[in-house]
């Protein structure tokens, strides 16, 4: 039987999936690049926060003031130095390069931190409260709150700011954007930097609520791609709504068929919806 608790927990899980998928959606929408290294950035956020909390004693969420800018810089530099010139030659070389970065990240994390799971322990990691008869974990509520706030922030940035409009112009027609004075390479790097910062937030939330390993980013990459494809390329709002659909499908599938079949239900829904609406549930012509 599907309970209110199942529905609520599915929505909360969807909030986390929205945070995970936002950066991937941004890169996909702007450059049409399948960024296979996105999971490495998510896990990197967890590991950087682990270092900051261990050595500086900061709360994991407070550590974001250092971790998010660090991954913004990593994404910006990697895009500017390597990936943009590959993207301009075609998306296939850039995708292969992101695969190489993914393998490099897995190896580097294993050497630096071992393959043992790590967590970001806090006083509220397992703290919960009751709301309308439903027991909620505080970290899950925090994940949903971040999902809502970051989705709105990315939408406002793309729609209402000069740099965001320039990023959208570079996404729609790079050649035309260059002719009106937009530095397309810098816009690509800016989008990659923002995606890195978003991945950092996801990694910290994952670390607080769950655990992470050097290769754990593959699972989050898979979930992120599922969300992006279902949401439709070019829709920030679609990414958030698709994440809620995925979270609900996982929670309901687990309640009906058992926890073992949670992800199977998600991917079955993905295949069905892809067959019915291959452009995604909320596709738009430009990233909005």
Tokens of 115: 């393959």
pLDDT-wise least confident of 42-51, 72-81, 152-161, 226-235: 226-235
Within a domain: 284: no
Query: Domain of 248?
Result: 4-276
**CB 209 within 8 Å of CB 61:** no
User: Is 86 part of any domain?
Assistant: yes
pLDDT attached to residue 112 = 95
CA distances from 49 to 104, 119, 149, 223 (A): 20, 10, 21, 22
- For the chain, how many structural domains are there in total? 1
pLDDT at residue 283 above 70? Answer: no
The percentage of the chain sitting over the pLDDT mark of 90, rounded to a whole number, equals: 64
Contact 64/200 with Cβ under 8 angstroms? yes
- The predicted-structure confidence for 198-256, as pLDDT tens digits, reads as follows 999 999 999 999 999 999 999 999 999 899 988 887 688 899 999 999 999 999 888 88
Residue 266: burial class (beta carbons within 10 Å; 0-12, 13-18, 19+): buried
> Quick one: DSSP state of residue 64?
H
pLDDT interval class at 1 (50, 70, 90): low
Q: Report pTM.
A: 0.92
- Residue 107: give its domain's CATH number: 1.10.3470
Task: Note whether residue 9 is domain-resident.
Answer: yes
Looking at the domain assignment, is residue 281 inside a domain?
no
């Amino acid at each position: 039987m599907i309970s209110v608790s199942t529905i609520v927990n599915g929505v909360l899980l969807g909030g986390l999936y929205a945070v995970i998928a936002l950066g991937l959606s941004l890169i996909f929408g702007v450059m049409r690049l399948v960024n296979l290294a996105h999971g490495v950035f998510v896990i990197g956020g967890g590991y950087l926060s682990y270092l900051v909390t261990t050595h500086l004693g900061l709360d994991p969420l407070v550590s974001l003031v250092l971790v998010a800018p660090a991954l913004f810089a990593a994404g910006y530099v990697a895009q500017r130095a390597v990936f943009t010139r590959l993207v301009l030659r075609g998306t296939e070389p850039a995708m292969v390069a992101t695969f190489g970065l993914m393998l490099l990240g897995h190896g580097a994390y294993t050497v630096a931190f071992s393959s043992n799971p790590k967590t970001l322990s806090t006083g509220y990691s397992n703290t919960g409260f009751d709301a309308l008869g439903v027991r909620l974990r505080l970290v899950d509520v925090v994940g949903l709150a971040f999902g809502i706030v970051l989705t709105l922030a990315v939408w406002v940035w793309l729609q209402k700011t000069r740099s965001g409009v320039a990023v959208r112009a570079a996404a729609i027609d790079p050649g035309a954007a260059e002719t009106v004075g937009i530095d397309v390479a810098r816009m690509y790097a800016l989008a990659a930097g923002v995606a890195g910062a978003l991945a950092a937030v996801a990694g910290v939330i994952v670390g607080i609520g769950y655990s992470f390993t050097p290769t754990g980013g593959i699972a989050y990459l898979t979930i992120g791609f599922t969300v992006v494809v279902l949401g439709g390329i070019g829709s920030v709002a679609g990414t958030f709504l698709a994440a809620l659909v995925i979270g609900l499908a996982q929670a309901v599938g687990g309640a009906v068929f058992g926890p073992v079949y949670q992800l199977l239900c998600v991917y079955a829904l993905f295949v069905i919806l892809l067959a019915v609406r291959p452009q995604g549930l909320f596709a738009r012509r430009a990233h909005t």
